[in-house]
Amino acid sequence: MTKSFSKTVLKLVFTTLFLGSSLYCAAQKKMGGLALYTVRNDMNKDAKATLQAVADAGYKNIEAAGYKDGEYYNMSPKDFKNFLNELGLKPISTHQAAVTLENADTMFADAKTAGFKYFVVPVPPMGLFKFFEETKSMGMEGGNANLARILSTLGEKCSKAGLKLLYHNHDFEFKKDKDGIVPIDFLLENTDPKHVNFQMDLYWVTKAGASPIAYFEKYPGRFKIWHVKDMDDQGRFAPVGNGHIDFSKILTHKKLSGMKYYMVEQDRTFAMEPLEAIKVSHKALSKIGFK
């Protein structure tokens, strides 16, 4: 065997190993976040196995929606954080609808211990949220000023605990109430961005007939996390990329919005199993331009 032939063979071997390693790394690259509300039934059955499946699907970040009696999915805050770390998942945000002015300090301390950065109030808290069965619609009682005061108080407590408070919208906040006021506008204009900001659910904004981009332009920097879920032709929840919401256009205004993280979410997956739906959504993210 000549020296030149040996060098050629060795070069081919190293090139093959390098390319193989690169392809493997690319295949293992994780991106995006998932709101665990999407897989809530699976989480209730076997939280650890479901989180493993979420990691295997390629997600990097998670948003919890399973806090009860001081635990996240039947794990202490510290154990939950450690298990996520083992899987290479990062705790970013947590939805905790049961928060009140009385239990907030305890909840914030637990969220901090679990490693979360953002504490999200998913609906008007303290019994203010209402679902009207006859019209299948959502709303609230107590008034906009009352909600703004509650969020402001929670926001100050949250900041002291080393977390950031966000309020998550549905569709009713983007529609005029009986007094002709758009609740989300009132909240944006009557809360201090030092302590209160927002998680924009792109599906529900679209459902309300509002424009996410128009809100980014009017209230820049206030929407720190997005919920990314699509809408099919029937107006139902759909996997990302399987509907008609123009995420690519919205994404060009990411910086203006203040978005730091995004979470795939699908409240109902209909004929598709949730663990399959999250795979479909994840494959679409990079095609759309999410990173």
203-236: per-residue pLDDT in tens? 999 999 999 999 999 999 999 999 999 999 999 9
Contact 66, 122 (CB under 8 A): no
CA 114 to chain centre: 16
pLDDT value at residue 221? 98
- Identify the pLDDT of residue 7: 47
Residues of the chain with pLDDT under 70: 1-28
Nearest to 198 by CA among 147, 243, 161: 147
Cα(29)–Cα(74) distance, integer angstroms: 29
pLDDT of res. 29? 81
Closest CA to 128 of 172, 174, 88: 172
CB 45 within 8 A of CB 75: no
Single-letter residue type at 3: K
- The number of beta carbons lying within 10 Å of the beta carbon of residue 143 is 15
For residue 278, the model assigns a pLDDT of 98
Helix (H) and strand (E) counts for the chain?
Answer: 12, 14
pLDDT value at residue 271:
95
